[in-house]
Amino acid sequence: MSSLIELTNNLPNGETVRTAAGTEYIYINPYITPTGKDIIIAIIDSGINYLHPDFIKSDNTTKIISIWDQESTLKPPPEGYLFGSEFTRGEINEYIKRNDSSLSVDNIGTGTIAAGIAAGLGHGNSNYDGVAVDSELVVIKLKSYKDTFAKGKVNYEESDFLAGIKYALEVADRENKRMVINLTVGGRSTSGIEVSMLDSFEDLGGSGRIVVCGAGNEGNTDIHYSGNIQMADKSQDIIIQVGEQVNLDITLCPIGPDKIGAAIISPGGEMSYVINYTPEPFVYRGRFNLEDTSYEMRYIYPWIKSGNEMLDITLKNIKPGIWTLRIFPEFIINGNYNVYLPNKNLISPQTRFTDSSSDATITLFGVIKKVITVGAYNDRTDSLWIGSSKGPVVKRQIKPDIVAPGVDIIGPYQNDAYNTATGTGVSSSVVAGIVAIMMSYIISQEEESRNLLFSEPLKTFLMLGATRKEIYTYPNMAQGYGILNLRNILAAISNNIE
């Protein structure tokens, strides 16, 4: 897993959150006052610069309820967890009084800028406030793993990420407040998932427990290949150009009940075992002697998350060159399949499919129906950001749900400074703040309207209010139901509340 936020260092040409999200409408309208009060936004990324003025209220106290730093050993972990340190609001306030930044440090900056875009106060610069300025924050700094696929690249593990979600939900329960969980970290793209580990959290998507997720940054990265194979085909070759890598994962996902076998051919012409379906779980292991590259191949059928086949290949100590994935039909009804490499920001820029497709690149958690999945839009050029991942996902479900500004958006960074960032994690941070505003607006209405605080009704209001261009047909697999429009969203809520 990797962050869906790319720091761009383009502050002179950056766009403020107010302009991008349209929140100026709230501040100039005396009859509309929702600012996210009593809503918690959870940030699960690289941590937070808690000393930045945008996270310190006027009384010199923090707007952060707690931080779980999964890498820290300074304090005990949260109750029920075995690693990291939990820092409470009171402890954060003590460090603020001393102007001491050592409690927990965001060395990367993506978590800080996500938090600031969603809920920053703008105290460092009043032009740079976030969307839901009165929302509180829960921050999980994920444990980082370096050099997993390529040197210098930071990777996050799904198990740590899911633990962060569990912790955030526990804080919301303890505080007895509603929560928006902003997923700015994404796993491998996929098109065949119906069930995710997110579904193990019964609260997610329920009343006051909303998940917003970046669609993925793989729209132009050559990490996805799609094809069709039939029983009449002897085999098909899929060409992968590999740059300077440490390791590389390749995942093959047929559609439906199809079964496809596979082998890997090295640049030197050596061929691995041909892995075929067996009823018992089995891991094929071997080595390419010329390249001194080892491999592991796992064939899972049917996979619990989709019911389809999943074939995972791990190449360790892989060498640069042209590698070939050769596939063989075993049992074919549909014939369509997808092949994925890891997220592009985890691998070498030179590693890619030579014949790739930008479709079906939604990140692992973004395919889930109850998640609000957000693509990135460049509102200055009035076009989809080129890196924004696209659908379709399983059963042709429309994803992303909407798109939102996500190019060179300004937010807090290290020390007291600001920076710009691009990506669908930026867009999800904007929408996470918007959803917090929507929830606080609904709460301020009649008691009966609070049954709208579920994922599906809120998603419907986002869709109803979205701007749709005449030149496109909606919904579509690039922009979903349209472009975020806060003014229209609030009008849609008002028109549909009795």
Tens digit of each residue's pLDDT (9 = 90 or more) over 264-316: 999 999 999 999 888 877 899 999 999 999 999 998 887 766 678 889 999 99
- Look up residue 26 and give its two tokens: 């709230």
- Which residue(s) pair with 263 in the sheet? 326
**For domain 224-353, which CATH number applies: 3.30.830.10, 2.60.120.1290, 2.170.130.10, 2.40.50.100?**
2.60.120.1290
Domain spans in the chain, listed from the N-terminal domain onward: 2-219+363-495, 224-353
Q: Largest alpha-carbon pair distance within the chain?
A: 73
- State how far the alpha carbon of 453 is from the alpha carbons of 113, 208, 436, in Å: 26, 5, 10
CB atoms under 10 Å from CB of 74, counted, come to 12
Q: Would you say 363 and 186 are in contact if contact means Cβ atoms under 8 Å apart? A: yes
The answer to whether 2-219+363-495 and 224-353 have equal CATH topology is no
**Can you say how many angstroms the Cα of residue 348 is from the centroid of all Cα atoms in its chain?**
20
Cite the beta strand spans of 110-246 per DSSP E. 136-141, 144-146, 154-156, 178-183, 185-186, 209-214, 224-228, 236-242
What's the confidence (pLDDT) of residue 196? 58
Name 68's Cβ contacts closer than 8 Å, sequence gap at least 6: 77, 78, 81, 84, 85, 86, 87, 139, 140, 141, 164, 167
User: In the chain, what is the straight-line distance between the N-terminal and C-terminal CA atoms, in Å?
Assistant: 43
pLDDT of residue 307: 75
Look at residues 190, 193, 192, 171 and name the one whose alpha carbon lies nearest to residue 180. Answer: 171
Burial of 381 by CB count in 10 Å (0-12 exposed, 13-18 middle, 19+ buried)? exposed
Helix (DSSP H) and strand (DSSP E) numbers for the chain: 8, 26
CA 439 to chain CA mean position, Å:
22
* Assigned token pair, 114: 């996500």
**Which residues on neighbouring strands pair with residue 262, listed in sequence order?**
275, 327
Render 308-368 in DSSP notation, one character per residue. Answer: S-EEEEEEESPPSEEEEEEEEEEE-SS-EEEEEPSPGGGS-TT-EESS--SSS---GGGG-
Q: What is the pLDDT of residues 68-91, one digit of tens each?
A: 999 999 999 999 999 999 999 999
What is the tens place of the pLDDT at every residue in 2-49?
Answer: 999 999 999 999 999 999 999 988 888 877 778 999 999 999 999 999
Class of domain 2-219+363-495: alpha beta
pLDDT reading at 194 higher than 70? no
Average pLDDT over residues 447-454: 78
Whether the pLDDT of residue 172 is over 80: the answer is yes
pLDDT tens, residue by residue, 51-64:
999 999 999 999 99
Question: What's the whole-number average pLDDT of the chain?
Answer: 93
Distance (Å, whole) CA 469 – CA 484:
12
Identify the pLDDT of residue 452: 86
CB 40 within 8 A of CB 64: no
pTM value is: 0.95
